[in-house]
Amino acid sequence: MAQSVLKVVDIKKSFAGVEALKGVSLEIAPGEIHCLAGENGCGKSTLIKIISGVYTADAGYIEFGGRSYQKITPIEAIMNGIQVIYQDFSIFPNLSVMENLAFNTELADKRVLVNRKRFRKIAEEAIAKIDFKVDLDAKVKDLSVADKQLVAISRALMFNAKLIIMDEPTTALTKKEVSALFKIILALKEQGISILFVSHKLNEVFEISERFTIIRSGEKIITGNTSDLDDKKFSYYMTGREFEDLSFTAKNVEEEPVLEVEDLSLGGCYENVSFSLRKGEILGITGLLGSGRTELALSLFGLKKADSGNIRINGKEVVLDSVAAAMENKIGYVPEDRLTEGLFLSRSIGENIIISDLNSLSGRAGVYDFKKKKSAINKWVKELAIATPDPDNACSTLSGGNQQRVVLAKWLARDLDVLILNGPTMGVDIGSKHDIHKILQSLAEKGLGIIIISDDLPEILQNCSHILIMKDGRVTARLDPKKIREKELSEYMM
């Protein structure tokens, strides 16, 4: 076996007496695609920061190309060929693609004056390494998430990268964009560059990685060949739990629709969309980026008023021209980006839960009934199993899965008829994903009408009673999840 590009030996790290890593070891060969997996809070991010020199380990050591370090700086990690692409990509949104790519090189060379011609030459060489076609003068903030990621990869390759660590690289990508990213990863492998692919998505781990390491509660559980894994083993190693099949069958379905959409259109977004939803059903809507699925959801929640068409709630025609109108008609919406659109992260968990139902918790003079407020908060923390020692803690202290439960609790506190969820489990780990699906299915069985908008095809197939495919703003297919497989569903989308 060739000398390892990275060897991590018995790494330990604690924060304020809490053990984040308990003797974790890891080894990666040149040109190897290795998956590092584990639930949120397991220690993955801490390990990455120790490898890249951001944190110093309390014990253990790291080897780069056979040279051992007990303490390393970020500069030393970069000099050893280690590059990390974090979820936010660490790029400057207000600068151009060219400026983002040339900036680090200019700093490393200690240049003082800007030379646009030199900037362009550096940037052209960077994007050529992965055959990335992009307008170098475009502002990074105007690029798609996928293109921002390619800017970060191009920049990483400028510093003779031997190992690129990708932290949850597919969280905000569509299926098509994930496929394009995987082609680039395989091309990097052919050049002898190793990839440490951090993920908790089963299908991606199986598709792209050759070897895997799973961490749970700060401990390495197993390292091995991905070919030896299956879904059940992977889930068990990740969580220590065995999950039953949660395939949804609508049981307690009301006869009359709770929501009817007829020939709904919004210029440049979608046109002539029609469907109905009954209480007790879960309707799945899927499609590629730009299909109009998110804009449709925003119209149903009053954020983008439709130009034409009809919406009926419980048989009565309504106009959803504001969020207030949607809420008045007992519609709730869980947005795609819970961090910026769904939560007040600096406020308490409890305040986030009751924020949409303040009127019912106030007396005639508009004064809080604190006893009623506390009871409501405790009810939803318990009912949705939100893992917190104290609901007065800031929402930012929760894991992604628990934050998503808080968003759910916020709407369930309002006694809804229809709940729309856009990417309900985006960015959450396997255990939380399973738990959220279980909650949604239980809510449907209790009589809630639910719409799930997602490009996570297993999620759509497992949880929905009907599926709509959207493409170029139109509904192009209506499918029964019991009669279709994931591959066929993917073909309908494409």
Q: What is the pLDDT of residues 266-278, one digit of tens each?
A: 999 999 999 999 9
Tell me how far the alpha carbon of residue 378 is from its chain's centroid: 27
Q: pLDDT by residue (tens digit) across 290-335?
A: 899 999 999 999 999 999 999 999 999 999 999 999 999 999 998 8
pLDDT at 214: 94
Q: Where are the domains of the chain?
A: 6-239, 257-493
Fold of the domain spanning 6-239:
Rossmann fold (3.40.50)
Pair type for strands 18-28 and 257-266: unpaired
Q: pLDDT by residue (tens digit) across 465-484?
A: 999 999 999 999 999 999 99
The candidate with the shortest Cα–Cα distance to 139, out of 102, 101, 97, is 97
Buried b (16+ CB within 10 A) or exposed e, 242-278: ebeeeebebeeeeeebbbbbeebbbeebbbebebbbb
pLDDT at 364: 58
pLDDT at 434: 87
The phi and psi torsions of 17 (rounded to 5 degrees) equal 85, -5
Q: pLDDT by residue (tens digit) across 366-387?
A: 565 677 778 778 887 888 788 8
Domains 6-239 and 257-493 fall in the same CATH topology: yes
Alpha-carbon gap, residue 21 to 237, rounded angstroms? 17
- Residues of the chain with pLDDT > 70: what percent? 93
Do 460 and 291 touch, CB atoms closer than 8 A?
Answer: no
CATH class of the domain whose range is 257-493: alpha beta
pLDDT at 165: 94
Can you list the residues of the chain whose pLDDT is less than 70? Answer: 1-2, 106-114, 172, 337-341, 356-369
